[in-house]
Structure 1
Amino acid sequence: MLCHHFDAGRCRSCSWLGLPYDAQLVDKQRTVEGLLGGHRGLGWREPVASAQLGFRNKAKMVVSGTVDEPTLGILDPTGGGVDLRDCPLHTPGIRAALPVLAGFVRRARLTPYDVPARRGELKHLLVTESPDGELMVRFVLRSQEPVARIRKHLPALREALPALAVASVNLQPEHKAILEGDRELLLTEQETLTMRVAGLDLHLRPQSFFQTNTALAAELYERGRAWVAEVGPATVWDLYCGVGGFALAVAGTGVEVTGIEVSREAVASATLSAAGVGLPRVRFEAGDATAYALAAIAPPDLVVVNPPRRGIGSELAGWLEASGVRHVLYSSCNARTLAQDLARMPSLRPARGQLLDMFPNTAHYEVLTLLERS
């Protein structure tokens, strides 16, 4: 894959771009198998490849430069803007939208935030495209000062960008390396973006997390659905459930599912999705995954865990080990912490695994494993 930003040294986010894609997959599979190689009987499925271009459904663009000449992309080591609005990783809809949004910055006089000088207003533009081609655009601001101008010029933006379905302002007043703040101001009547994947309609609210690779997210949920259906549990917990992808996928098998997620925005999204498809035996609750498990009276038949890179940790792993749960479906974006967690659960043996290349051109990946109690 060719990228003039990479070749010029302006952006090195795709650190493996110089490596042939087949070699990338081989290296990732070798790494994961090496980390989990101590588990005998672990049967590996073939890795699931990704498109190298146009797969990324979310753009997280730092806004820099000036009102009249804004840059949308990243910052260089001096804090100056590097414009990446033509980044080939983004979906075609996002690539078409970014120049329009740069024009909106000029039209609404949204002063880019100057990191070294600590002044300005617009910090980031966060743009997500659904499989249907609809867009969610979030303006991350230092204060509410530009909100009136954004509202004033929003009709012109919607005319120039007909795919725009959801728009919001996120307030992040602190001078810290934090992408967004807690407070969100919705600017449109439509509140959610519908992500249609794996036969599911997942409703994404502005502060909800969704996998950045739509095609591989669909593959992940399809495999989770199939593996759980083979086991045939009556009750399932989906811990770290996000917007409910795994929970809703396995609910199609007729089981009773409880999803736990710390983000209330994600829980609201998941609840809306469940209601939309008429799944009364699926419920979602905002809370800490470990605390929920430790407080439970009885365990379910199967637990799904999809934690952040740090893994599930010793406390939850210890509970799973002692709980009597027969199966665990573990989706991990970090095989090192997965290996550490597996070492804490010796009675739960990994029976099958599969690598999904959610993040091509980088060292990152997703790996799905099914654990069985020995």
Structure 2
Amino acid sequence: WRFVMLRHSVFYNTWMVNIITASEDIRIVEPLADLLIQKYPQIVSVVNNITSRKAGVATGEYEILLKGESILKDRMGCYEFEISSNSFFQTNTRSAAMLYDKVKEYAGLSGSEYVVDLYSGTGTIPIWLSGAAGRITGLEIVESAVQDAEKNCRKNKIDNCTFRLGDIKDLLAGVEEKPDMMIIDPPRVGMHKDVVSQVLGMAPEKIVYVSCNPATLARDLNMIQDAYEILEVQPVDMFPHTYHIESVARLRRK
């Protein structure tokens, strides 16, 4: 046994249980899945991720669906989302809607812009901005997240968002058209220095940077401050009663 990860859909009040183990043993985990489904009717999905890695990560090298559905459905604003066990999705969906509204406000889109979203995950920000932009390209390294993003666009009848799978450094090199603006929403480690160089080289007029780590936000903004003016930074308390804080920064090219 390694971890148990729970995902909760606030809108539907349903749960996904992800059991992370070091090896595969259906004889042990399947009876547990049966028991969970029987005892807690709100559980709609039980999956088993298997990983031999010793690191403290709650994702596996491969996954087995034990009971129920392979995804969890949730809703934010007027949009419906399907989330796989290994795909990133904000845990506090009510605050996330406020966060994405702030991203949309800072983006200041007029309807014709080409937007590139770095670290696009399950497509939440591109979908949130889809009605205000001309075209949006999302770049993401996790395959299940890209698949979820494409499904979520189809589910919400959105046709102006596309997604590319791969390392952000490699994907940015393949973006031939200069974006009018860029959304950057990296993991806690922030941007790789090569990605920073590529962003500076592409020189979008506007950047909205979404951060879950004030330390790497400060570091990354410091690396681009010669080229970009920081207009506003808005904290969003996604995890009340903890020291964690999300921030949205609005930048404009000098």
- Scaled by the length of structure 1, the TM-score of the pair is 0.63
Of the three residues 52, 55, 61, the one matched with 1:173 is: 52
C-alpha contact (below 8 Å) 1:236/1:301 kept by paired residues: yes
For structure 1, the 5+ residue unaligned runs are: 1-121
- Seen in structure 2, the aligned counterparts of structure 1 residues 306 and 233 have a Cα distance that, compared at 3 Å, is farther
Aligned mates of 1:349, 1:206 — CA distance in 2: 38
1:358 alignment partner in structure 2: 238
Tell me how far 1:343 sits from its aligned partner: 2.5
Q: Determine which structure has the larger strand proportion and give its number.
A: 2
Could you tell me the percent identity over the aligned residues? 26
Q: Which has the larger radius of gyration?
A: 1
One-letter amino acid of the counterpart of residue 272, structure 1 = K
**Cα deviation digits, residues 222-279 of structure 1 (max 9, x gap):** 1112332446552111110111111110112142111111000111111110010111
1:250 alignment partner in structure 2: 129
**Cα deviation digits, residues 69-106 of structure 1 (max 9, x gap):** xxxxxxxxxxxxxxxxxxxxxxxxxxxxxxxxxxxxxx
1:11 alignment partner in structure 2: none
C-alpha contact (below 8 Å) 2:84/2:144 kept by paired residues: yes
1:301 alignment partner in structure 2: 180
Tell me how far 1:331 sits from its aligned partner: 0.3
Is residue 183 of structure 1 aligned with residue 62 of structure 2?
yes
2:151 alignment partner in structure 1: 272
One-letter amino acid of the counterpart of residue 242, structure 2 = T
1:219 alignment partner in structure 2: 98
One-letter amino acid of the counterpart of residue 329, structure 1 = V
C-alpha contact (below 8 Å) 1:198/1:219 kept by paired residues: no
For structure 2, the 5+ residue unaligned runs are: none
Aligned mates of 1:370, 1:349 — CA distance in 2: 9
**Cα deviation digits, residues 146-176 of structure 1 (max 9, x gap):** x134334644432321111111111123444
Aligned mates of 1:258, 1:175 — CA distance in 2: 35
Is residue 337 of structure 1 aligned with residue 224 of structure 2?
no
- Scaled by the length of structure 2, the TM-score of the pair is 0.91
2:17 alignment partner in structure 1: 137
Tell me how far 1:368 sits from its aligned partner: 0.1
Aligned mates of 2:89, 2:229 — CA distance in 1: 29
Tell me how far 1:189 sits from its aligned partner: 4.7
**Cα deviation digits, residues 34-81 of structure 1 (max 9, x gap):** xxxxxxxxxxxxxxxxxxxxxxxxxxxxxxxxxxxxxxxxxxxxxxxx
- Seen in structure 2, the aligned counterparts of structure 1 residues 176 and 148 have a Cα distance that, compared at 3 Å, is same
One-letter amino acid of the counterpart of residue 166, structure 2 = G
